[in-house]
Structure 1
Amino acid sequence: MSNQPVQPVLYLVVCAAPPARQVGELVQLLMDDRWNVCVIATPTAVTWIDCDTLTQQTGFPVRCKFRRPDNVDPLPKADVVVVAPATFNTINKWATGINDSLALGILNETLGLGLPILASPYAKPALTQHPAYPGHVEMLTTAGVTFTRPEAIRPQHEGNPFRWGLIRDAVARFHPSSPPT
């Protein structure tokens, strides 16, 4: 039996927005902070990311489809869930309880389990002005979801990398080795 502490598990739900293409950078930052990272992608996001590379990087398969009831879940149980980038579509579906993808199923179940959830919205300003959006963000916040400001990870200048460090910093407080606040 190993004396090494077991690292906590972070589910990273990836939605189809421009930052998804570089999500491996966020995965590495989180792994550097002693998280076991499991990637769950929305149906569109899975076509934007390199699943083989992410599987090699994390040691866990990238999941995007529901498993059959007789199949064992290949992922360990989550301690924390991060949604980054969190799209307009996913936030609105999640708030209304729609469960039509594995990613939404994970998010809906996580709300019910009371696990820490961090969401980093990435949606055009025109979409965030839609009348349903602010109410859905408020509903999820009331349910316990922590949100970064909209598009917090957008590069500050053209050509700069996405600002994954903001998510890294925000999720650090959920790590079991973090000092109590």
Structure 2
Amino acid sequence: MVEAAVADGWDVCVIATAAAEAGGFVDGAAVEAASGRPVRSDWRRAGEEKRNPPPDAVIVAPLTMNSVNKWAAGIADTYALGLLTEAVGLGLPVVALPFWSTALDAHPATRRSVRVLRELGVRVLYGPGAWEPHAPGTGGEQVDGYPWGLALEVVGEAVEGGRS
């Protein structure tokens, strides 16, 4: 998705959770090579200059069940969640592309959180015609079919050429 976004004219800054980095879900070197910027996962230190420009829009992908529930509840206990909470407050176009199993989806908090984020104006690409939960234990098999391009298309429509 980073390469496609750059090719489409976006200035891409990738923010990952510490768990995503620690779990090897983000190839920092590949992201930096494609975007020209390092992956960030922590707050800057006092007195340190901002490393990324202000965003025109935000794509959250893959959005986990844990993160959707924390975000909807206003819990900003990680750098990524803090930025997402702020993006909603700033009125930025935000597109979220979930990734979780049907077992996690069955918990009432999950759908409630999707509803809350949608009420806040987040475009959650969840449901028929977008992304749908996968069977438990099959997440690895779903990666190749994950609709990264859909998130990029929807955020582009939301911004309508207002990219930096």
Question: Which category of TM-score, normalised to the shorter sequence, fits these structures?
Answer: 0.7 to 0.9
Task: Work out whether 1:94 is the aligned partner of 2:78.
Answer: no
Q: 2: CA distance between counterparts of 1:81 and 1:164?
A: 13
Match of 1:163 in 2: 147
Does the CA-based 8 Å contact 2:58-2:155 persist in structure 1? no
Corresponding residue for residue 79 of structure 1: 56
Change in 2 beyond 3 A, CA 1:81/1:69:
same
106, 119, 122: which one pairs with 1:129?
106
Determine the structure 2 residue equivalent to 1:43. Answer: 18
Q: When the two structures are aligned, how many residues end up with a matched partner?
A: 152
SS at match of 2:14: strand
Q: In 1, Cα distance between the equivalents of 2:142 and 2:84? A: 32
Q: TM-score, normalised by structure 2?
A: 0.84
Deviation at 1:129, TM superposition (A): 1.2
Q: How well do the aligned residues superpose, as a CA RMSD in angstroms?
A: 2.2
Q: Larger % of helix: which?
A: 2
Unaligned runs of 5+ in 1: 1-25
Match of residue 70 from structure 1: 47
TM-score, scaled to structure 1: 0.76
2:119 aligns with 142
Give unmatched runs, 5+ long, in structure 2.
Answer: none
Q: How far apart, in 2, do the equivalents of 1:55 and 1:128 lie? A: 33
Task: Work out the CA distance in 1 between the residues paired with 2:142 and 2:161.
Answer: 36
Compute the displacement of 1:158 (Å). Answer: 7.0
Partner in structure 2 of residue 29 of structure 1? 4
Change in Cα spacing, 1:158 to 1:136, as seen in structure 2 (3 Å) is closer
